[in-house]
Amino acid sequence: MKHMIKITNLEKIYRTEEVETVALNKLNMDVKEGEFVAVMGPSGCGKSTLLNILGLLDEPDTGSFEFNGQEIAHYNERKRADIRKHNIGFVFQSFNLIDELTVFENVELPLIYTGVSTVERKKRVEEVLDKMQIMHRRNHYPQQLSGGQQQRVAVARAVVNKPKLILADEPTGNLDSSNGNEVMELLTDLNEHGTTIIMVTHSEHDARYSHRIIRMLDGQTVTENILV
């Protein structure tokens, strides 16, 4: 398997007038295509900063970040956005659905951003809603759904563009255990069909679905457990 992500000596420092906070401290990390990796660690250890950089929502101060063999650490926002929208899907703890849009419209949004035709959009949205077993909710609004259903919609939106990589930030954090397990099964199924997944989680239970657990402390990776 070839590397999808290769991070070397990555640093990110947040500065205010009085305080300097080192969020990432010479972090090193590799993720191969098709892996399912869980990132764990206490609050404030740098997990969210790492996820923002991996998702091309932020850039590091120093260090190297290769994505599919391309050095992208200091790309400008336009170049990062272009790579992001064609390669990466996001699943958040708080679902981040748009209340004014129906389930269908929420899932369709990433396809509009990438310029997919109306006919192709309809086909792909219906395909993914069917796969997530929420087709019968296509005309409902997020507020009319349970938490578990909202997260299914969020997963559908994340995968409708067929991204190479899914970044999941506490994907079961707002769900009860049975809905949480369903979401983890969905992610596992996507991974088995070839999607690379990096998941930040506090849940040891959820982390066990992954192939490998990376534990972080003070902006660095401290241990790795290989589960398969």
Tell me, what DSSP letter sits at residue 144? G
Share of the chain above pLDDT 90, in %: 71
Query: Would you place residue 228 in the very low, low, confident or very high pLDDT band (cuts 50, 70, 90)?
Result: low
Q: Give the C-alpha separation, 124 to 101, whole Å.
A: 17
- The model's pLDDT over 157-181, given as tens digits with 9 standing for 90+, comes to 998 988 999 999 998 888 888 888 9
Which amino acid, 148?
Answer: G
Regarding beta strands 88-92 and 165-169, do their DSSP bridges make them parallel or antiparallel, or are they unpaired?
parallel
> For the whole model, what pTM was predicted?
0.91
Q: Give the C-alpha separation, 11 to 22, whole Å.
A: 8
Residue with tokens 């255990």: 177
